[in-house]
Every structure is written in structure tokens, then in C-alpha cells.
Copies of this chain bind each other. A is one copy, B any other.
């Protein structure tokens, strides 16, 4: 029921753990990376919150672990970072019959599929927001730490992500916003802000969720902001590069700003258009320090 530690890699002041475990939710073996910051090893009795980072299309847990460079920020503020996979994998997991890279393997879209043949394995919403955090909590409670530090995967937690994962972060945050609030903080890098209206989202939602618009609305941030009340001053931080080739056709962050108008989220979606940046990890890593500080504040670390 626990995790197998495939490798444990020294990185900055802490360690990156590459874990594997059997998921009942997806019915497959799943990979996940976790960065444990220096405070976990070096501070007596530190209480360390977790930031979940949801990756974009075509990624595994490795890409962001290697290129987003959360590690020094995690060390600076004292949070762990969880890098889940982007879909179930394995010989029995159905993929896009046309082999599109934007659907199926590496493209689970962080929803619970209801449509055959995807409904058996593609339960990424439940996996990321429920099974994974609970199992991490159990596992690290059972192993303990030499310093007496503890990791919090369930309560004092934040979420962020890139592109498909930026959508997954905002969607997961808003869907679970009601008290007790699941995530204390949410941000996104170049998210697919209104998936129901763009090619990537239509393909994924159509195949995973079927054609009823009500099913799509349950996940679409541009709909969720209309139905979930901001409790006060919660802000969603977003960065979007102006040279991102997907900005205008697939990501459309302005549609989320539009949707929030007249709702309790108006003015609370802090969209930063950054001149000249693209959709790559060069973009993500450039703004990770700002997102890290944002989450650190919301997690009570500063």
C-alpha cells in the first residue's frame, strides 16, 4: 500500500524522491516525484506544507523536477513539492486511437473520466486530490524523519501547474474551495483557462466526459468562478507569456477574467502577461520564484 522509493537524489539543500506505487484509483502503477526541502532534514520539528505541481501535456514527473527549479525556492521558504504524473500508464491503459499527443497518455487532464474505455483508468481528479495526498500522508507518517520534522500533505497545502496542469490546479482548487478548504493557495503558469471553448479542452472533455455541457462545466474554471464564492481576499496568481504559441488559441486567460466579472472573483484573478516569454520551462522557471513567494505567504511561511 505504500510507496517504493526508486531513487533518492540530493538536490540543493534537500532530496528529490522518485516514488512508485500501486493506485486503486487508476488501477495502475503510478510514478510521483517529491522534493523534500532542507528544513525536513535539518530543522528539529519543522512543520512542512506541500505544494502540488501539476504538469502539462506530454510531461512525466521528471520534466518539472529537472527544469522548473522549484528546489531552491522550496529550501528558501520550507515547503515540499509534489510532482504527480499526467496520466495513468501501462499496456492496458487506453490511449488516443489517433495517437494525438494532446489526449490519452500524458494527457489525463486531471478529470475523472466517465466515458468508456477511459473511465476505467483515467481518474486523475480523484487520484491527484484524494488518493495521492492521503497515501503520502500515511507513508511519511509511518516512516517518520530523523529530525522529527513532519510533512503536511492534507491540510496546509497549495496547488499550481502549467498549461493542462494550470487548468488542473485552478479547477481542483475551485471545485474543492468550500469549507474546509482543500488548498490554501492556487496559482498557474499559462493555464488552459476555459477548456470547454478550445480545441485541447474539447477533445479531452468530449472523450473523457461525454458531450453534455453540464459535465464539462463541473471542471471548467470559467464556469466554476460563477458558482463558487470567494470568501474574502483569496487571489489566484497567473503568469502568461505573450510569445506563447498556444496563448491565443488554446489558453485564453482573458476568458477567465471575463467570466469572473460581476462575480466574487472579479479582481481576484491576478493575470500577469509577461512580454516575450514562451510556453517552455524557460518561462516557468523564470516565474517560479514569484509563485513560490505567493504560496509561502498563503501557507503562513512568511
Contact = CB atoms under 8 A, between A and B. Distances in A.
Contact of A10 (B9, B10, B276): B276
A265 B241 CA distance: 49
The copy count of this chain in the complex is 2
Nearest to A75: B286
Secondary structure of the A contact surface, majority rule: mixed
A89 to B, nearest CB: 23
A11 B68 CA distance: 12
A16 interface: yes
Contacts of A283: 10-11
A145 to B, nearest CB: 16
B69 A278 contact: no
Interface string A1-21: 000000001111101100000
B9 A66 contact: no
Contacts of A139: none
A282 interface: yes
A280 interface: yes
A11 B286 contact: yes
Nearest to A63: B66
A281 B277 CA distance: 24
A134 interface: no
A114 B129 CA distance: 60
B69 A10 contact: no
B66 A10 contact: no
Given A16-B282, A282-B16, A277 B67 contact: no
B69 A277 contact: no
B67 A11 contact: no
Interface string A222-254: 000000000000000000010100000000000
Contacts of A286: 10-13, 71
Interface in A46-76: 66-67, 69, 71-72
A66 B281 contact: yes
Contacts of A264: none
A142 B281 CA distance: 31
A68 to B, nearest CB: 10
A115 interface: no
A66 B278 CA distance: 14
A285 interface: yes
Contact of A9 (B11, B69, B275, B278): B278
